[in-house]
Structure 1
């Protein structure tokens, strides 16, 4: 009995939501032992908030499972050639969403296999002789035999020796995982793992960007380099894994991101627009997010084939 108590999800330092998540995950593995059942009942009887947290956690777990069944088996994950830093632990209600990517095939335009364009979806990996490039939604990539150029938007590069990627006035030679974004006025590169060498066009001066560092270049101004916290890296890397990572973010902001990636649009009333959530959600499953917001925030949810309304 002491052994069961020691591994019980209801640690003294856990919040009601964290403890409820632990119990829900434990129940999913199989029946409770007699001592575990008694520990759960004791925890539920301690505080009426515990019962509410437990019911919410079970509802979200079950909702996620039903949606997975409705949508069929998950898409196969992308094989990464370099190890990825694990995402920080989050409360269960957000982590319960499946993390499979819904891969969109980018459309080649212009010359064959030269310019790739994405709409509202993350692309499948584009294979080169020296690695892969994955495009974010609403992005453009020009691919050649010797190098590739990010024309607009964002991409994730998994490169090895020989990979060359250009963006704006910068040339990159990544050996590892690199996030790259490009706008008419700025280029930003973040090294997630491994390292990347880079230089300006028409310059022989190379810089090295190690994992956890980010460089931004605006016009002809000196580059800005900074180190990222692990949480920042996870947030910036999330889209390339098919995830949305929110950290005390408003519902309206989260909804805006979902709507960039999905044809089925989310709408939220003014009463809930400024409410905040923290968690990790699947970019391609606005339904799961809407059910989580409904359960956690007490919102009402109205659905049509094209829209999801939280109010």
Structure 2
């Protein structure tokens, strides 16, 4: 019986195939060999997706060049409030981490009661007057109102990461859907998307979660580093029992990859991945084959490059890609679906 390849063997083969694909089109013999390799081990498809995603990530970083200087993009004269256009935001959030930091250059200090928002595909860093910062993900809207007694931010919609400067006398509070998230110092993400439950992820410090109004006294739920809490809807003005869940460091990194303009997947279906890309771009990924839509996706991808993502998917899952304006259509011949090799 042949010895089963190790994960390292699979990853090395995926890297080799990625390098070969980057050199140009495959011959018919090479294409057959690639499809045979992809169908021979269930780990192969995920490994090739990861390798292709890493290759695209490296290319986007290299595109900035060794001489890239963010200061060159600053306008002369005194600093002033300036928003990035959608085109600029889409271009920069898809680059390396250094490019993502450019967004902070054009954001002025918000006044008390100010509303700060982002458009689709835009990531915006808002410095607050106490030294805290809020990083707003795509299509996010917050309201900031500071007073002598508290630092208050209301998340109206979207997703935001809060880096809270320490102040033991004036708590930092995020209000969202009838809850108050309070801390003296922490780093945490809050997500409110459509009809989905509010999702809180803490990766530094401690955050206490309590309902805004209670018919009866209740202890707040304490979230420590590397924990998350999915908020339930209060019933009759009373809080519903909620239990924080421990989250591993790798999962935290994936959840927060958007801060660098990236999307990280670890087994989500292609349909779920396509829906996620739709939050960041006007280009829509349509998956016409139901079996293809259920294929698991693994890898790190540029949030503003649904076409590049679709090309990688088409290659790995032997699918056909057709681009029609702002729509990318993925289809697959049923005879070549997974398991038919």
Normalised by the length of structure 2, the TM-score is: 0.60
Distance change in 2, residues 1:75/1:261 (3 Å): farther
Deviations 1:145-174 (A, max 9, x none): 342211223211111213613223314225
**Per-residue deviation at 1:62?**
10
**Per-residue deviation at 1:178?**
0.3
Distance change in 2, residues 1:25/1:259 (3 Å): closer
Is contact 1:122-1:242 (8 Å) kept? no
**Per-residue deviation at 1:221?**
1.9
Q: 1:139 maps to what in 2? A: 140
Q: 1:269 maps to what in 2? A: 288
**Per-residue deviation at 1:289?**
0.7
**Is the counterpart of residue 173 in structure 1 residue 191 in structure 2?**
no
Unaligned runs of 5+ in 1: 1-10, 28-47, 77-96
Unaligned runs of 5+ in 2: 21-32, 39-43, 71-93, 332-341
**Per-residue deviation at 1:269?**
1.9
**Is the counterpart of residue 226 in structure 1 residue 236 in structure 2?**
no
Q: 1:152 maps to what in 2? A: 157
**Per-residue deviation at 1:185?**
9.0
Report the Cα distance in structure 1 between the residues aligned to 2:232 and 2:121, rounded to whole angstroms.
27
Report the Cα distance in structure 2 between the residues aligned to 1:307 and 1:278, rounded to whole angstroms.
22
**Partner secondary structure for residue 7 of structure 2:** coil
Q: 2:262 maps to what in 1? A: 243
Matches within 5 A, 1:1-311: 13-14=6-7, 17-23=10-16, 60=52, 64=56, 68=60, 100=97, 114-128=114-128, 129-145=130-146, 146-162=151-167, 164-167=172-175, 168-173=178-183, 175-182=185-192, 187-201=198-212, 208-215=222-229, 216-219=231-234, 220-230=238-248, 231-270=250-289, 272-311=292-331
**Per-residue deviation at 1:98?**
6.0
Report the Cα distance in structure 2 between the residues aligned to 1:13 and 1:241, rounded to whole angstroms.
31
**Partner secondary structure for residue 293 of structure 1:** helix
**Per-residue deviation at 1:176?**
2.9
Q: CA RMSD in A?
A: 4.4
Is contact 2:61-2:95 (8 Å) kept? no
Distance change in 2, residues 1:62/1:304 (3 Å): farther
Normalised by the length of structure 1, the TM-score is: 0.65
- The more displaced of 248-257 and 170-179 is 170-179
**Partner secondary structure for residue 225 of structure 1:** coil
Distance change in 2, residues 1:223/1:26 (3 Å): same
Distance change in 2, residues 1:239/1:149 (3 Å): same
**Per-residue deviation at 1:99?**
5.3
**Partner secondary structure for residue 125 of structure 1:** strand
Distance change in 2, residues 1:293/1:207 (3 Å): closer
